[in-house]
């Protein structure tokens, strides 16, 4: 039931204070209208607030979207940069590996070279010492057109011969009675350049000539123990009987002969 209808009913039933009642009812109506207006204003304000909130969120959304796009772009660019840098780094590693392998090879070669040089140095020191010792003990003699070198250290027949050949000479060949007597006077015990190693009993000088004049000791050559193929000059009382056959592997002093070129 609305307010104006209530006013009519009350007025008809009692008939008392109608103006006051009307006034009161108008007052109520105005109060209600104010309430409605207030509610409408509040609603409007709420709508405005909602709109503002929506706008703020929308702006924020746009900003975030832009930020996201920018970050995506950055990520892509970073990824590309990373790919390029990775490629550069891998190539750098490859170069370094090759360089390291090259250095390893060089080091290995140098080590081998150093070892070779060390071994050469060692041999040269040994050779020098041997030469020193040889020359310290060397006795030089001269007879006829030959020069002779008596070495006072001892070697096998082959080694002794090699020593002579290294110096452009060869082991001593006695080809005359005078030469034999000359060496008897030197009182030496040394290898001669005489051997029957090729064929037992066939004595040959180192120049390939067959032995013709001989100065063997009594009972020599006897090829004792079937192993004496090299001749040695020995000290003896008899100047024309001083040779003996000995095992070639024995160590003896030796005489080198250097014949003057005519
Ligand atoms: O060392 C081998 C040598 O031995 C003896 O001389 C010390 C032999 N002499 C005799 O048998 C007379 C050598 O013929 C032998 O070569
Ligand atoms: Ca003998």
pLDDT band at residue 16, thresholds of 50, 70 and 90? Answer: low
pLDDT digits (tens, 9 = 90+) for 226-248: 999 999 999 988 999 999 999 99
CATH number of the structural domain 139-259: 3.10.100.10
Given a cut of 70, whether residue 130 has pLDDT beyond it is: yes
* pLDDT at position 5: 43
Residue spans of the domains in the chain: they are 3-62, 139-259
Which residues does ligand 1 sit against, CB inside 6 Å?
219-220, 222, 224, 228, 244-246
Protein residue with least CA distance to atom 12, ligand 1: 219
With the most atoms of ligand 1 within 8 angstroms of its CB, the residue from 154, 222, 235, 243 to mutate is 222
Q: Whose CA is nearest to atom 11 of ligand 1?
A: 224
The per-residue pLDDT for range 31-88, each reduced to its tens digit, is 999 999 999 999 999 999 999 999 999 999 999 999 999 999 999 999 999 999 999 9
Residue nearest atom 1 in ligand 1 by C-alpha distance: 246
* Interval between CA 228 and ligand 1 midpoint (Å): 10
Integer angstrom CA distances of residue 217 from 67, 150, 209, 229, 245: 120, 21, 21, 15, 9
């Amino acid at each position: 039931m609305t307010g104006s209808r209530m006013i009519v009913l009350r007025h008809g039933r009692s008939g008392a204070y109608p103006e006051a009642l009307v006034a009161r009812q108008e007052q109520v109506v105005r109060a209600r209208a104010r309430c409605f207006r207030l509610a409408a204003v509040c609603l409007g304000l709420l709508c405005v607030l909602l709109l503002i909130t929506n706008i703020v969120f929308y702006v924020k959304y746009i900003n975030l979207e832009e930020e996201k796009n920018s970050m995506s772009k950055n990520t892509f660019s970073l990824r590309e940069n990373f790919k390029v840098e990775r490629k550069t780094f891998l190539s750098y590693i490859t170069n370094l590996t090759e360089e390291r392998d090259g250095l390893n090879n060089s080091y290995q070669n140098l080590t081998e070279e150093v070892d070779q040089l060390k071994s050469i140095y060692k041999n040269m020191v040994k050779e020098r010492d041997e030469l020193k010792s040889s020359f310290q003990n060397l006795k030089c003699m001269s007879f006829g057109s030959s020069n002779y070198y008596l070495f006072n250290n001892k070697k096998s027949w082959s080694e002794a011969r090699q020593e002579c050949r290294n110096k452009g000479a060869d082991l001593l060949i006695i080809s005359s009675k005078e030469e034999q007597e000359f060496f008897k006077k030197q009182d030496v015990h040394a290898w001669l350049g005489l051997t029957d190693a090729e064929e037992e009993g066939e004595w040959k000088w180192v120049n390939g000539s067959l032995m013709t004049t001989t100065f063997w000791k009594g009972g020599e050559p006897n090829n004792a123990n079937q192993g004496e193929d090299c001749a040695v000059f020995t000290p003896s009382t008899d100047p024309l009987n001083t040779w003996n056959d000995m095992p070639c592997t024995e160590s003896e002093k030796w005489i080198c002969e250097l014949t003057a070129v005519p």
